[in-house]
Amino acid sequence: MNNYRKVKISEIAEVIGGGTPSTRIPEYWEGNISWLTPKDLTNYSKTQICNGERNITELGLSKSSARLLDEGAVLLTSRAPIGYVAIAGKALATNQGFKSLIVKPKLASNYYLYYWLKGNTEYLNSLGTGTTFAEISGSVIKDIEITLPPLKEQQAIAEVLSSIDDKIDLLHRNNKTLEEMAGTLFKSMIRDRSNESITSVLLHQIADINPETINSKFRNEHSEIEYLDTGSVTKGQINGFQTISIDKAPSRAQRVVRKGDIIYSIVRPVQRHYALLDEVKANSIASTGFAVIRPKVNCHFIYQLLTSDESVEFLDMIAEASTSTYPSLKPSDIANFEIALPGEEALEQFHQQAELMQEKVNKNYRQINELIELRNLLLPKLMSGQVRVKTH
Residue-wise pLDDT tens digits, 82-131: 999 999 999 999 999 999 999 999 999 999 999 999 999 999 999 999 87
Residues 240 and 117 in one domain: no
End-to-end CA distance of the chain: 17
Contact 4, 148 (CB under 8 A): yes
Residues 264 and 133 in one domain: no
Q: Please, which residues have CB within 8 angstroms of residue 8's CB and are 6 or more apart in sequence?
A: 142, 143, 144, 145, 146
What was the pLDDT predicted at 196? 62
Say if 174 falls within a structural domain.
Answer: no
Residues 250 and 316 in one domain: yes
**CA neighbor of 352 nearest in space, from 294, 301, 280:** 301
* Backbone dihedral angles phi then psi of residue 249, each to the nearest 5 degrees: -70, 145
Residues 220 and 123 in one domain: no
- Please identify, among 303, 324, 341, the residue that sits at the C-terminal boundary of a domain: 341
Average pLDDT score over residue span 28-44: 95
Task: Indicate if the pLDDT at residue 12 is higher than 90.
Answer: yes
Say if 190 falls within a structural domain.
Answer: no
Average pLDDT score over residue span 347-353: 91
- Count other C-beta atoms under 10 Å from residue 221's C-beta: 10
* Count, residues in the chain: 392
Say if 158 falls within a structural domain.
Answer: no
Residues 249 and 139 in one domain: no
**How far apart (Å, rounded) are the C-alpha atoms in residues 127 and 123?**
7
**How far apart (Å, rounded) are the C-alpha atoms in residues 364 and 168?**
9
**How far apart (Å, rounded) are the C-alpha atoms in residues 269 and 277?**
18
**Residue 268 belongs to domain spanning:** 199-341
Say if 186 falls within a structural domain.
Answer: no
DSSP H helices in 26-99: 58-62
How distant is the alpha carbon of residue 193 from its chain centre?
37
Task: Indicate if the pLDDT at residue 392 is higher than 80.
Answer: no
Say if 97 falls within a structural domain.
Answer: yes
Say if 32 falls within a structural domain.
Answer: yes
**How far apart (Å, rounded) are the C-alpha atoms in residues 320 and 270?**
10
Say if 347 falls within a structural domain.
Answer: no
Express each pLDDT in 311-346 by its tens digit.
999 999 999 998 888 899 999 999 999 998 888 888
Residues 316 and 203 in one domain: yes
Residues 141 and 257 in one domain: no
Q: Please, which residues have CB within 8 angstroms of residue 248's CB and are 6 or more apart in sequence?
A: none
What was the pLDDT predicted at 177? 96
Say if 383 falls within a structural domain.
Answer: no
**CA neighbor of 12 nearest in space, from 117, 142, 114, 118:** 142
Q: What is the CATH number of the domain that holds 32?
A: 3.90.220.20
Residues 216 and 91 in one domain: no
Structural domain count of the chain: 2
Average pLDDT score over residue span 36-61: 94
What burial class does residue 275 get, using C-beta atoms within 10 Å of its C-beta: 0-12 exposed, 13-18 middle, 19+ buried? Answer: buried
**How far apart (Å, rounded) are the C-alpha atoms in residues 34 and 39?**
14
Residues 104 and 221 in one domain: no
